[in-house]
Amino acid sequence: MNGKPLSVIISDDIRDRIKQGVLKHNDLLPSEKELCQKYGVSRVTVQKAFDILANEYLIRSVPGKGHYVNDAGIHIYQCRFREFEGFEVKMLAVDIIEPPPEVIYNLRVDPKKRVPRIIRMAYKDDRPAAYDVKYIPYTPGVPVIEAETMFSSFEELISTVVSPYEIQNRLEVSVERGSRDVCEKLMLPAGVELLKVEQLLVGSEGEELGWSVTYYNPAYFRLEAVRR
């Protein structure tokens, strides 16, 4: 089974049936009990599979009735986002700090506990193109090593402690006027509009695994998406 969690295997099977047209709009999915018997798993595992599909807008839950297939007219796009592909990355700092408010909120960490912080700068044509700050909950016995974090994507970094199959990346892209400090680092005028990319990595149990914010000079940012 290629090491995949059972919840992922079940969601993959249902997704394939939807794409192949076996399951159509408004079709009722098998009940949790039926899927438990078919795959020999617990209800919690089936519920996780349903959560995966619901997050992709492929199915919806109707209380008291079950789970139904959504309208195929809802266009789902899969993004190809590789943080620093084609960039030269330089490490600025790796340290352990007291969590600022936004980290406490996003990672739901104890304000009294310190968290590892990784700061990197990405360059394009010898010019600063992106300023990146990542925060991860402290894991006892797992050191944050500069050599391993220099070129790692966020998922690759977190996969040292969690299986990559259990990681879900919630990506949010917005436009924000850069602070004086960030603009200086990117060699841009203060207050210029930057592309802000936030990543929240969560595990199979919904636990927060890491949060990052990256500010891009818009001239160097590219996000590709394909319809699924």
Q: Is the model's pLDDT at 143 over the cut of 80?
A: no
pLDDT for residue 72 is more than 80: no
Q: Are 7 and 49 in contact (CB under 8 A)?
A: yes
CB 174, CB 196: distance < 8 Å: yes
Three-state DSSP at 13 gives helix
Q: How many whole angstroms separate alpha carbon 79 and alpha carbon 202? A: 18
Residues 112/134, Cβ–Cβ less than 8 Å: no
CA distances from 179 to 57, 124, 131, 168, 189 (A): 36, 21, 12, 29, 10
How many whole angstroms separate alpha carbon 8 and alpha carbon 37?
Answer: 17
Cα–Cα dist 199/19, whole Å? 28
Note the pLDDT of residue 159.
72
pLDDT band with cut points at 50, 70 and 90 for residue 90: very high
**Tens-place pLDDT, residues 30-39:** 999 999 999 9
Share of the chain above pLDDT 90, in %: 52
Query: For a pLDDT cut of 70, what percent of the chain falls above it?
Result: 88
Decide if 107 contacts 128 (C-beta within 8 A): no
- Report pLDDT digits (tens) over 188-203: 999 999 999 999 988 8
Is the pLDDT at 180 greater than 90? The verdict is yes
Q: Give the pLDDT score at 170.
A: 82
pLDDT digits (tens, 9 = 90+) for 206-227: 788 899 999 999 998 877 776 6
Domains of the chain from N-terminus onward:
6-74 (1.10.10.10), 80-227 (3.40.1410.10)
Asked if the model's pLDDT at residue 163 lies above 90, the reply is no
Contact status, residue 122 vs residue 84, Cβ threshold 8 Å: yes
**Out of 9-13, 89-93, 136-140, least confident range:** 136-140
**Two structure tokens written together for 154:** 């966020």
Q: Which pLDDT tens digit goes with each residue over 15-69?
A: 999 988 899 989 999 999 999 999 999 999 999 999 999 888 899 888 888 999 9
